[in-house]
Amino acid sequence: MQNELNQEEIDAMVRAARTGGGADSGHKEPNVEPWDVHRAGQIGREQLAAITQLHESFARSLTLALGTYLRVVFAAALVSAEHLTYREFTERIPETTYLAACKLDPMGVRGALQLDLKVAFPIIDLLLGGEGKGIAAPRDITEIEDQIVESVARIVCRELGAAWHAIELQVSFEERIELALAQRLMLPNEKILSLSFEVSLLEVRGGLNLAVPVSLSHALLRKISKAWMDSRPRGPAEWRERLQRRLLQCPFPVELGVNGLSAAVSELAGMAPGTLLPLRRSAAEAASLIVAGVEMFGAAPARAGNTRAASVLERTLQTEVMPGGKETRKR
């Protein structure tokens, strides 16, 4: 029984033959995915690694600073560094928490600092002379407790400013704010750099989160990239040139003398004031300019004003590379 094709199937076969298509032609449709305009400008993996390394150093500094201030074992560790919208950041914040605004000068922008209350209350208890115990039921902090936590927030801002010294940015504590006001601190769709840390105090663990405008992270990346580009060698020729420039600033001991002289022990034993010791070398022969213990030039004694000098006459040191990589020197 033969299959009959209708006109549409025949037309489809003709189009496929003209375009080189077909079921087994191997042609695949392109994979089309929707593009989210809000995620444009995301930093790459290498740039994110540089930002992460910088703030891991900040976490170590904060561990030392707050551990010394609280006089207990305190630890801070970076959990994540990512670009988000400010709305995404605020959606992650608990309803009952400690929030503060910090000022970033001279950029003239503001950032947000959030600390979990399950960490804040043990800190308050410690600074009031207690053992660092938390509370059973969650509640908001009082005005007096607010002032105590503010001292810790100021230390966080100080250490953060020290970590960002490369862009000469000053981070200062501004004020504690409510969550409703925090949502208006920046535009909801504004891109930010979100830094999340886990802090541990005695037996309590909680979160410390920071949000700053994305322009700050771009400034940091420019500084980090410039420092990295300036420090890495770009090739053998440039490496040699840099090494030569550095060697030009290195001091080497230099002396004017005569190598290869010898005297019998009997002559040395009989020396006394006024004794003349023959060195068995012509007085007309040039002396040696010795650099770092190596005879390099033939030279004669000279004077430059009131300073002793050496008048270089000829080069006496030659270096040859022998098979096996060994160097020999000959005059």
Which tens digits make up the pLDDT trace of 144-160?
999 999 999 999 999 99
206 and 76 together in one domain: yes
Q: Which of 231, 248, 268 delimits the end of a domain?
A: 231
> Using 50, 70 and 90 to split pLDDT, how confident is the model at 299?
confident
Q: pLDDT above 90 covers what percent of the chain?
A: 28
User: Could you report the per-residue pLDDT of 111-139, keeping only the tens digit for each?
Assistant: 999 999 999 999 999 999 888 887 766 78
CB 174 within 8 A of CB 109: no
Note down the domain range covering 47: 42-231
Same domain, yes or no: 213 and 293: no
Same domain, 185 and 296: no
Mean pLDDT (the chain, rounded): 80
Determine, yes or no, domain membership for 137: yes
CATH of the domain at 142: 3.40.1550.10
What's the mean pLDDT in 273-300? 81
Residue at a domain's end among 192, 214, 231: 231
108, part of any domain = yes
Q: Is residue 29 part of a domain?
A: no
- Whether residue 304 sits in one domain with residue 193: no
Structure tokens at 215: 């322009």
Q: % helix / strand / coil in the chain, to the nearest 5?
A: 35, 30, 35
Residue 206: what residue type?
G
pLDDT at 166: 75
- Note whether 309 and 168 are same-domain residues: no
pLDDT for residue 119: 92
8-state DSSP, 136 = S
Give the DSSP H/E element, type plus range, for residue 113.
strand 109-115
Check residues 79 and 108 and name the one with the higher pLDDT: 79
What is the number of domains present in the chain? 2
Residue 1 lies in a domain: no
Tens of pLDDT, residues 248-285: 888 888 888 877 778 888 888 888 888 888 877 777 77
| Inside any domain, residue 91 | yes
Residue 242 belongs to some domain of the structure? no
